[in-house]
Amino acid sequence: MPLRKDNIFMKREDSELHREALRQGQEYSRKMVEEYDTLWGQPFWDYVRKSRAAWMAARLARAGAHGLRALDAGCGIGFTAFEAAASGLFSEIVALDMSGEALAIGEKLRAEQRRTQAAEIIKFVQGDFFMLQADAPFDVVYMHEVFEHIPSAEAVFAKARDLLAPGGFLMISTPNRDRLFNRLRVAAGRQRLLIDPFHVREYSFSEMAAARTGWRLEAATGRQLFDINCVAAPFAVAGNAARNFMEKALRVAAENRVVYRAGALCPGVSAEILVLFRKRADRG
């Protein structure tokens, strides 16, 4: 049974965060076909989504968690939701996104996977994370590649606290502002680059792993030593043949499991950050 929007969303449609969510949702909708074609079903990106979900599930399992109710905030096409559902730790996953186009693809993928019982626990819902009013608290809120699109980090933590049960978990994956490529640029006297120019803000590993009032950091790590989009940037002025050759060579170097896993060895310069927080019983 799909969740009813009028029962679970507030009506503060004029809020700054809501306006930004609408803008991001519209932009993301334009990328849906491209993302589905380039990320879904590609061996490396399938490995990435499995790896993210496995990292989260392993740490939740260590805490003795099971039968969990989760919110996938900014689920897109269900990039992580399907893998999280397959972990067996969750009884329900509410997959929330502003993009109707993204959710339509997610529903299509879910229909294709109905042979697996795991897909049945996913409920796709269109709406804004900051407007969401849960009828029951969640045990887990997670955001994969969404945090960097939100103007206020503290607003995310505050909203997650409201949505989570005592002792609940917040898991975030986000690009590392101080990844190796950006450190090299700074050393050369140049400005850092965003992995995606549509990002509002990117954070360093130390910022993401910092102590926060009302939260306990459970785990933090890095993934992927460098990002293909940024590494290829210096060759943008090269001729087509040279640029295509260099981008293909760099993609082979960047998009493989060894390089992805190696980010855990030096998370401060990795391209991706994974953090898991637990809500404290009090705000002290």
Q: What does the pLDDT read at residue 20? A: 75
Identify the CATH homologous superfamily for domain 5-279: Vaccinia Virus protein VP39 (3.40.50.150)
Q: What does the pLDDT read at residue 279? A: 95
Say how many CA atoms lie within 13 Å of 151 toward its Cβ.
11
DSSP-derived pairing of the beta strands 164-175 and 272-279 = antiparallel
This prediction has a pTM of 0.85
Q: What does the pLDDT read at residue 114? A: 60
Q: Is the dihedral of CA 20, 207, 184, 145 positive or negative?
A: negative
Residue spans of the domains in the chain: they are 5-279
| Tally: H helices and E strands in the chain | 11, 7
Q: How far apart are CA 142 and CA 146, in angstroms?
A: 9
Q: What does the pLDDT read at residue 53? A: 94
Q: For residue 256, what is the DSSP state?
A: S
Q: What does the pLDDT read at residue 124? A: 94
Mean pLDDT for each consecutive 10-residue tract of the chain (284 residues)? 44 65 73 75 88 94 86 93 92 93 90 73 92 89 93 92 95 94 88 85 95 94 80 57 69 80 94 95 60
